């Protein structure tokens, strides 16, 4: 089951699971309409408890089924909170073209939330608990994923599994059928992949994103159109393997298994794949969403300190965009929060036609520094840290978070080469750089054009004398 790019997200679960509250929050994050089936019924027929009393449960279920079908029949993808009992008409949810998420809740919590309400089925605790036990396996049967909070719903909609030990369960999480693994050899030594499948190795780092490396990979692959590439490694590995999947046989499925912090919080999420050219970073690429992204924060324990600093640059970027100090969370928490933030942005704008541009905060400067360094002398993390510094300075905001967490130092690269690379950035229009800046924490602004001299001065401050 892939991400819910063009499909409704339907929330199912017992009464008291939080479908209405969480559904409204998830709809806001995804930029979609929100429909609460119970509320729609009440608007048309009056209070549900009165409908139960006058017509009985069977009549209510018939009305509920019609409203669910009508709501899911709307063309614009939305978030839909489905009544807790609709699952008893299992065929209804099986036939709908919706991504179904089961909102899990324990029976004691659910009872405490609804026991003083006028809900018809919340008047008798014994009957409440009996129905809870009867429905739970039905929810699990119809659901494509299970979640218990808004982040979990967003991650599920993005086809993303974030869990300690997820790598050990990889065989359960990848699609059935022919598989071929594409990986960084060093990663496989540290974290063997529990799959019986051919393995293809890519060079480490940015060398993986060269046309030569991907051409060799194309020649080695033996999948048919129904097969799946499983990409295991850092952001460069998933970028290159994802691009190979997008283009091999005009497109095969792929699974991203990021093993670095930068991959887990940023690079492997959202379906952007790319290769580098000598003239610039990520100038050749495709949008090709993985059918699943499997993130295991536990593997970060083997990450070298320099790689961790690279990832923390993307964590700080995400925190600035979200307006939250995400960099202060423990690994499992910061990975989950960052992944959920990026997944929501990418689901709102799957092909970077608008709002997704916010994720380029600091990256216009970063890519220029990387290109000027020949992708060898400046790491991605160092470049992003410096790019964030420039973006905050141009935004007129405090730079404390970047300076204290990332401690960026000016790099030695050719100034003219850096400026030429910046001028060629994908976001440049008519030779004028268009930047992502911040009005304040959590308030990004895209497409900002500033005088060339001001932008060049900001870039020059990132380069050592």
Task: For 326-339, write each residue's pLDDT tens digit.
Answer: 999 999 999 999 99
Distance, CA of 384 to CA of 361 (rounded, Å): 9
Please say whether the beta carbons of 180 and 200 come within 8 A. Answer: yes
Asked whether the whole model's pTM tops 0.75, one would answer yes
Check whether 175 has a pLDDT greater than 80: yes
Listed in sequence order, the residues at least 6 apart from 22 whose beta carbon sits closer than 8 Å to its beta carbon are 11, 103, 149, 150, 153
Check whether 90 has a pLDDT greater than 60: no
SS3 at position 164: coil
Residue 92: what pLDDT?
Answer: 59
Could you tell me which residue, 288 or 85, shows the higher pLDDT?
288
Please say whether the beta carbons of 317 and 388 come within 8 A. Answer: yes
CATH class of the structural domain 355-460? mainly alpha
Residue 109 structure tokens: 């919590």
Residue 1: what pLDDT?
Answer: 63
Closest CA to 254 of 236, 223, 231, 285: 231
Check whether 227 has a pLDDT greater than 90: yes
Check whether 83 has a pLDDT greater than 80: no
Between strands 272-277 and 280-287, the pairing is antiparallel
Listed in sequence order, the residues at least 6 apart from 149 whose beta carbon sits closer than 8 Å to its beta carbon are 22
Give, for 437, the enclosing helix (H) or strand (E): strand 435-440
Ramachandran angles phi, psi of 79, nearest 5°:
-110, 130
Check whether 278 has a pLDDT greater than 60: yes
Distance, CA of 334 to CA of 332 (rounded, Å): 6
Closest CA to 132 of 107, 113, 103, 109: 107
The predicted-structure confidence for 419-442, as pLDDT tens digits, reads as follows: 998 887 666 666 678 899 999 999
Please say whether the beta carbons of 268 and 238 come within 8 A. Answer: yes
What residues does CATH 3.40.50.1970 cover in the chain?
161-303
What residues does CATH 3.40.50.300 cover in the chain?
8-149
SS3 at position 291: coil
Residue 164 structure tokens: 């300690």
Listed in sequence order, the residues at least 6 apart from 264 whose beta carbon sits closer than 8 Å to its beta carbon are 162, 258, 295, 297, 300, 311, 335, 338, 339
What residues does CATH 1.20.1090.10 cover in the chain?
355-460
Whole-Å CA distances, 405 to 88, 336, 339, 358, 393:
51, 19, 19, 21, 16
Query: Comparing 101-110, 245-254, 291-300, 397-406, which segment has the lowest mean pLDDT?
Result: 101-110
Listed in sequence order, the residues at least 6 apart from 329 whose beta carbon sits closer than 8 Å to its beta carbon are 337
Place of tokens 């036609």: 353
Q: Under CATH, which architecture does the 8-149 domain have?
A: 3-Layer(aba) Sandwich (3.40)
Distance, CA of 414 to CA of 344 (rounded, Å): 37
**Mean of all residue pLDDT scores within the chain:** 90
Q: Where are the beta strands (DSSP E) in 205-323?
A: 228-233, 253-258, 272-277, 280-287, 292-295
Closest CA to 379 of 456, 313, 292, 323: 313
* Domain 161-303 fold: Rossmann fold (3.40.50)
**Backbone region of residue 49 per phi and psi (left: phi > 0; alpha: psi in -120 to 50; beta: other values):** alpha
Q: Name the CA dihedral angle for 122, 126, 129, 130, rounded to a multiple of 10 degrees.
A: -110
Could you tell me which residue, 199 or 37, shows the higher pLDDT?
199
Closest CA to 12 of 90, 66, 95, 82: 82
SS3 at position 418: helix
The predicted-structure confidence for 323-382, as pLDDT tens digits, reads as follows: 999 999 999 999 999 999 999 999 999 988 888 999 999 999 998 999 898 877 898 899
């Amino acid at each position: 089951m892939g991400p819910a790019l063009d499909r409704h997200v339907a929330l199912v679960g017992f009464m008291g699971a939080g479908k209405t509250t969480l559904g409204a929050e998830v709809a806001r994050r995804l930029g979609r309409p929100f429909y609460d089936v119970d509320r729609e019924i009440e608007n048309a027929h009056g209070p549900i408890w009165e409908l139960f009393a006058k017509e009985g449960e069977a009549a209510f279920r018939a009305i509920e089924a019609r409203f669910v079908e009508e709501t899911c029949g709307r063309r614009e993808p939305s978030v839909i909170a489905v009544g807790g009992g609709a699952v008893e008409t299992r065929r209804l949810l099986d036939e709908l073209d919706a991504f179904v998420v089961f909102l899990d809740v324990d029976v004691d919590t659910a009872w405490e939330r609804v026991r003083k309400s006028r809900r018809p089925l919340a008047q008798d605790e014994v009957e409440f608990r009996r129905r809870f036990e009867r429905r739970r396996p039905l929810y699990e049967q119809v659901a494509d994923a299970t979640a218990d909070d808004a982040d979990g719903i967003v991650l599920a909609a993005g086809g993303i599994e974030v869990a300690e030990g997820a790598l050990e369960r990889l065989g359960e999480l990848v699609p059935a059928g022919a598989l071929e693994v594409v990986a960084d050899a060093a990663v496989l030594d540290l974290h063997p992949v529990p799959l019986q499948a051919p393995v293809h190795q890519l060079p480490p780092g940015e060398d993986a994103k060269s046309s030569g490396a991907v051409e060799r990979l194309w020649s080695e692959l033996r999948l048919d159109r129904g097969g799946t590439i499983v990409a295991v490694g850092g952001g460069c590995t998933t970028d290159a393997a994802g691009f190979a999947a997008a283009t091999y046989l005009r497109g095969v499925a792929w699974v991203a298994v990021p093993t670095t912090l930068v991959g887990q919080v940023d690079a492997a999420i959202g379906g952007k794949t790319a290769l580098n050219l000598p003239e610039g970073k990520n100038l050749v690429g495709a949008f090709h969403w993985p059918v699943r992204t499997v993130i295991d924060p536990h593997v970060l324990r083997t990450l070298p300190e320099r790689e961790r600093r690279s990832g923390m640059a993307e964590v700080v970027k995400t925190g600035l965009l979200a307006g939250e100090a995400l960099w202060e969370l423990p690994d499992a928490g910061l990975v989950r929060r960052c992944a959920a933030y990026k997944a929501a942005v990418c689901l709102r704008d799957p092909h970077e036609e608008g709002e997704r541009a916010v994720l380029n905060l600091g990256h216009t400067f970063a890519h220029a520094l990387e290109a000027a360094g020949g992708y060898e002398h400046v790491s991605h993390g160092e470049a992003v840290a410096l790019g964030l510094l420039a973006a905050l300075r141009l935004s007129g905001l405090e730079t404390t978070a970047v300076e204290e967490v990332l401690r960026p130092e000016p790099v030695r690269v050719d100034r003219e080469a850096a400026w030429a690379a910046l001028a060629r950035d994908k976001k440049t229009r008519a030779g004028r750089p268009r930047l992502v800046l911040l009005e304040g924490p959590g308030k990004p602004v895209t497409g900002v054009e500033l005088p060339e001299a001001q932008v060049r001065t900001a870039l020059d401050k990132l380069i050592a004398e």
